[in-house]
Amino acid sequence: MKFGVIVFPGSSGDLDLYHLIKDVLEAPVDYIWHEDTSVQGFDCLILPGGSSYGSYLRGGALARHSPVMAAVTAFAHRGGLVLGIADGFQVLTEAGLLPGALYTNAGGRFHCHSTTLRVENPDTPFTRNLHRNQLLSIPFAHGEGNYFVDPATLQQLEENGQIVFRYADERGQPSMEANPNGSVSNIAGVCNKTRNVLGMMPQPERAGEAVLGSTDGLAIFLSILKYWEGRQ
């Protein structure tokens, strides 16, 4: 299977994702330019973190209208795997591929630190190497990661198993104190109804090598590879 990392103008996480997939996972990967109109030949698309279009107007709002997004949307509707990380998550909500919206952190400031995530749903292509309530240490770095959905949508997300990760404390409780940005119900990652599109604010590519302090992020990429193997 082949990963495609989308390069929006201003993206920076693209370089880190490319390194992780190519050098650590040793899996096929290529960049996809934002002006490309086809994503043919790719099996999983990743929308990277960083600041596409300088995060101007709203994070992800401008990138969402890039030429490549029509192809990404069609790919997702055909059931293709799409992972949006941080800024990429914002692009996916702006594009309507995921419910809700992301806005200014409750503290009002950008924050960079390690967070603990609790796996809420291991039954997605992105989490099948994990088990329910497993805790992952994955760093986050953003200023607009405050996830919002209205109460009715939240209930639907719960019922459909669309909440994939929650911020939790070290005991695994999704407590107020463990919520780093004010997200509704401590939500750190959600998927669409058909579970082939995942968005998450913490950045798993930053927890992919022991030398960086955590390899917990690798499980997400390994899950994708395993899911793909199972499909063949």
Decide if residue 176 touches another protein (CB under 8 A). Answer: no
Which residues from 67-96 bind another protein, rule CB under 8 A? 93-94
User: Is residue 26 helix, strand or coil?
Assistant: coil
Decide if residue 25 touches another protein (CB under 8 A). Answer: no
Is the CB of residue 68 less than 8 Å from the CB of residue 40?
A: no
Residues 6+ apart with CB under 8 A from 58: 90, 94, 103, 144
**Min CB(229)–another protein separation in Å:** 26
**Min CB(153)–another protein separation in Å:** 9
Total residues at interface with another protein (CB under 8 A):
50
- Member of 135, 182, 222, 228 binding another protein (CB under 8 A): 182
Residues in a beta bridge with 103: 146
- Member of 1, 27, 31, 103 binding another protein (CB under 8 A): 103
Using H for helix, E for strand and C for coil, what is the string for 117-177?
EEECCCCCCCCCCCCCCCEEEEEEEECCCEEECCHHHHHHHHHHCCEEEEEECCCCCCCCC
Decide if residue 169 touches another protein (CB under 8 A). Answer: no
Residues 6+ apart with CB under 8 A from 116: 135, 136, 137, 167, 168, 169, 170, 172, 178
Decide if residue 171 touches another protein (CB under 8 A). Answer: no
Decide if residue 145 touches another protein (CB under 8 A). Answer: no
- Member of 43, 58, 70, 172 binding another protein (CB under 8 A): 58
Which residues from 2-21 bind another protein, rule CB under 8 A? 9-13, 15-16, 19-20
Dihedral of CA atoms 197, 61, 202, 68 in degrees, nearest 10, equals: 50
Tell me whether residue 61 or residue 222 sits nearer to another protein (CB atom): 61
Decide if residue 152 touches another protein (CB under 8 A). Answer: no
- Member of 26, 108, 159, 171 binding another protein (CB under 8 A): 108
Decide if residue 221 touches another protein (CB under 8 A). Answer: no
Is the CB of residue 148 less than 8 Å from the CB of residue 101?
A: yes
